[in-house]
Amino acid sequence: MQATTTNPHRVAAARLAHQILTQPSPETNTLPSPTRRLQQHLLYFDSGSRGNPGPGGSGSVIVHLGGHAVKPEIVWMASVSYAHRTTNNAAEYQGLLVGLRHAMLKQLHGLHVIGNSNLSIQQLQDRRFPRARHLQGIYTQCRLLADRLGIISWTHHLRDFNKMADELANLAMDTKKSTQVFEADLSNLPQAWTAVVGFLQRDVDNWIDIHPDQEDDGRTSNAEGVPYMCAHVLTN
């Protein structure tokens, strides 16, 4: 029988190929774990003006979804009081601006923005400069921050499904005080703020209901049988 010889170059090539195919690359090391879901942040905002113009207030909430979190988590809230001659539209823009500024501070890029102010959402999405002069400066600040943060979507919710921000706006107008609450403060909230947190799952469920691609992030069953409602969704 004739003995076979092995080409040393082929052996070396085979070993190198095996090493390349079996050794994790830097890219694969950064891939998310199968049990880790996409992380997202939702920014809710609302406002009010009692008298229009009158004493104003706004509420802003940032919610974290996905990652290792099983349920949605509030990471920041703000209840901000404004002057006694504030219009509804100005307060709406201010509520959004407060939230965008905090998102920029924390580098929360790729936000989904939710509010029940159709005017501000449409103007920002369409890049339509407001005719009202008192809104133009606030609009410009919001639009610049939105571009830097890379807003993914703008969603108009009915107020019944934007209750966290709505309650915070009312709190500001009732107390005439401005307050921020951070994630570390959530375990020791005053009663008025605890009521705000109670609307978290309802507000998020409505957003997920109209964003079916987000079904696995933070969704709970609609045990109360409440119909979910929304006006429209706009994406950049």
Give first-to-last CA distance, the chain, whole Å: 73
Instruction: Evaluate whether residue 30 is within a structural domain.
Output: no
Residues 193, 194, 198, 201: is their CA dihedral positive or negative?
positive
pTM for this one? Answer: 0.78
Instruction: Evaluate whether residue 19 is within a structural domain.
Output: no
Q: How far apart are CA 120 and CA 29, in angstroms?
A: 42
DSSP-assigned states of every residue in 200-230: HHHHHHHHHHT-GGGTTSS----TT-PPP--
What CATH number has the domain bearing residue 146? 3.30.420.10
Tens of pLDDT, residue by residue over 19-75, are: 655 555 454 444 444 444 578 999 999 999 999 999 999 999 999 998 776 799 999
Instruction: Evaluate whether residue 17 is within a structural domain.
Output: no
Instruction: Evaluate whether residue 209 is within a structural domain.
Output: yes
pLDDT of residue 53: 94
Pick the closest to residue 63 from 167, 193, 232, 217 (CA basis): 217
Instruction: Evaluate whether residue 93 is within a structural domain.
Output: yes
**Is 64 in a helix, a strand, or coil?**
strand
Q: How far apart are CA 149 and CA 154, in angstroms?
A: 13
Domain region containing 93: 37-235
pLDDT of residue 38: 78
pLDDT of residue 35: 43
pLDDT of residue 158: 87
Instruction: Evaluate whether residue 121 is within a structural domain.
Output: yes
H helices of the chain, in order, are 8-22, 26-29, 88-105, 118-126, 133-149, 163-175, 191-197, 200-209
pLDDT of residue 211: 83
pLDDT of residue 28: 40
pLDDT of residue 215: 54
pLDDT of residue 15: 66
pLDDT of residue 67: 72
**Residue ranges of the chain with per-residue pLDDT less than 50:** 25, 27-36, 217, 220-232
pLDDT of residue 210: 85
